[in-house]
């Protein structure tokens, strides 16, 4: 048996969000005058301020929250699509077709170049408070390029998703079913052991419900967890399919019918909203208020990608969720922490209960309200991942 390591206390906390009702008040389990004691990368106690420990981290009176759980990103890519964004601001619609532009650039990039780009984006996310990040492939679209993307992603996170069914690559134009055969017969079996999840883009112009069902069925048979992009660009079968297949999460949910909302409310599938996408594509925002009021579990994620949402900032997503989607600040903070954890079926992150991962955000602000109240301001003083601070 190995001896327990040194203890650290995060102290002088203005307001502590635990997400554990046993440790504080209200839905976020908010405690005042408390310190968080950490040992061996776990929270071992939440005690009155001034607790003894081997090391002390001074929160400076700032708010402390569980690290953000960003359950939807596409961080493995090369190339730049700033001009596409600018054209969109001038009136061009977003169609998803630019995925193939990023695919060409990603295929052409060396492993070292992709690894460096990925590391830069993960570091940027961490500076904004993200401590758990899901990363999808989807800009390779050949067996080797998709496997390379998930291998690189696995170097930085355990939450790796195979998104071979992101778009039909140019060499399969007009042969989407044959491309789906390749995803099911070759990509998925070879992703086992590296990817934890399989995903597909269920949308007009990408893959239809039957093609997505084939991908999800093959993924489940191979032992992968299921996720789905659905209802991003218009109403469609994505949400119903995700619920039917028992996906952990259906992501985007921008266009929802009453039946979609009822289905979400009666299922364990999390509705993950990606409001930075709706911001960056000038779409309407999802009817999140109705989804929450119906009783469904929701998450908020960045969808960081080069086309529809080039941001790693969960605080920005929280501000959008409050301002544009009419969530309360408490609902938005919960969606970015416990909601993200639910979308990844993780019990160890998204809260600061005893035994949780010691993943914390310390804000340069006295309360979590500032995340929406001060949009665009870099409020994160530091982020602790497994008890290790980003800035000592």
What Rg, from alpha-carbon coordinates, does the chain have? 20
Angle between helices 238-245 and 258-265 (to 10 degrees): 20
Phi, psi of 108 (to 5 degrees): -80, -15
Which is it for strands 225-230 and 249-252: parallel, antiparallel or unpaired?
parallel
Interface residues for ligand NIG in 53-112 (CB under 6 A)? 74, 96, 98-99, 102
What minimum distance in Å lies between the beta carbon of 152 and ligand NIG?
17
By CB under 6 A, name the one of 66, 164, 307, 315 that touches ligand NIG. 307
Region near ligand NIG per CB under 6 A, out of 63-71, 105-113, 298-306, 353-361: 298-306
303 binds ligand NIG (CB under 6 A): yes
What minimum distance in Å lies between the beta carbon of 72 and ligand NIG?
7
Interface residues for ligand NIG in 219-248 (CB under 6 A)? 229, 232
277 binds ligand NIG (CB under 6 A): yes
8 A C-beta contact, residue 361 and residue 380: yes
How many residues would you count in the chain?
392
What minimum distance in Å lies between the beta carbon of 308 and ligand NIG?
4
164 binds ligand NIG (CB under 6 A): no
Q: Looking at beta carbons, which residue is closest to ligand NIG?
A: 307
The C-alpha angle with vertex 376 and arms to 374 and 378, in degrees rounded to 5, equals 85
305 binds ligand NIG (CB under 6 A): yes
Closer of 229 and 381 to ligand NIG (Cβ): 229
Which distant-in-sequence residues (6+ apart) come within 8 Å of 367 by Cβ?
14, 15, 63
Which distant-in-sequence residues (6+ apart) come within 8 Å of 348 by Cβ?
341, 355, 356, 357
By CB under 6 A, name the one of 73, 267, 272, 308 that touches ligand NIG. 308
269 binds ligand NIG (CB under 6 A): no
Task: Say how many CA atoms lie within 13 Å of 190 toward its Cβ.
Answer: 16
Using CB under 6 A, list all residues that contact ligand NIG. Answer: 74, 96, 98-99, 102, 201, 229, 232, 277, 303, 305-308
């Amino acid at each position: 048996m190995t001896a327990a390591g040194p203890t650290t206390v995060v102290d002088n906390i203005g307001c502590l969000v635990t997400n554990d009702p046993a440790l504080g008040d209200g839905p976020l389990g908010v405690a005042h005058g408390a310190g968080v004691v950490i040992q061996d990368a776990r929270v071992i106690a939440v005690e009155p301020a001034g607790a003894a420990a081997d090391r002390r981290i001074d929160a400076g009176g700032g708010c402390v929250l569980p690290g953000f759980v960003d359950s939807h990103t596409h961080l493995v890519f090369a190339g730049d699509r700033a001009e596409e964004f600018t054209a969109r601001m001038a009136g061009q619609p977003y169609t998803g077709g630019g995925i193939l532009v990023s695919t060409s650039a990603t295929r052409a990039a060396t492993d070292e170049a992709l690894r460096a780009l990925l590391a830069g984006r993960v570091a940027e996310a961490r500076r904004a408070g993200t401590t758990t990040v899901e990363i999808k492939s989807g800009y390779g679209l050949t067996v080797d390029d998709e496997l390379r993307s998930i291998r690189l992603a696995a170097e930085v996170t355990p939450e790796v998703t195979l998104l071979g069914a992101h778009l039909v690559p140019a060499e399969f134009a007009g042969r989407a079913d044959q491309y789906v055969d390749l995803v099911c017969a070759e990509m998925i079996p070879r992703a086992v052991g590296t990817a934890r999840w399989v995903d597909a883009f269920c949308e007009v112009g990408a893959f239809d419900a039957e093609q997505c069902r084939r991908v999800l069925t093959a993924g489940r048979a191979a032992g992968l967890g299921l996720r789905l992009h659905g209802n991003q660009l218009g109403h469609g079968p994505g949400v119903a399919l995700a619920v039917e297949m028992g996906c952990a999460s259906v992501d985007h949910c921008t266009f929802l019918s009453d039946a979609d909302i009822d289905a979400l409310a009666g299922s364990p599938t999390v509705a993950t909203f990606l409001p930075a996408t709706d911001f960056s594509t000038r779409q309407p925002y999802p009817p999140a208020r109705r989804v929450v009021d119906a009783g469904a579990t929701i998450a908020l994620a960045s969808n960081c990608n080069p086309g529809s949402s080039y941001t790693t900032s969960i605080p920005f997503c929280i501000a959008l969720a409050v301002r544009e989607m009419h969530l309360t600040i408490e609902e938005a903070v919960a969606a970015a922490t416990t909601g993200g954890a639910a979308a990844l079926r993780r019990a160890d992150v998204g809260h600061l209960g005893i035994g949780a991962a010691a993943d914390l955000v310390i804000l340069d602000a006295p309360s979590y309200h500032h995340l929406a109240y001060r949009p665009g301001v870099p409020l994160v003083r530091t982020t602790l991942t497994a008890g290790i601070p980003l800035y000592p």
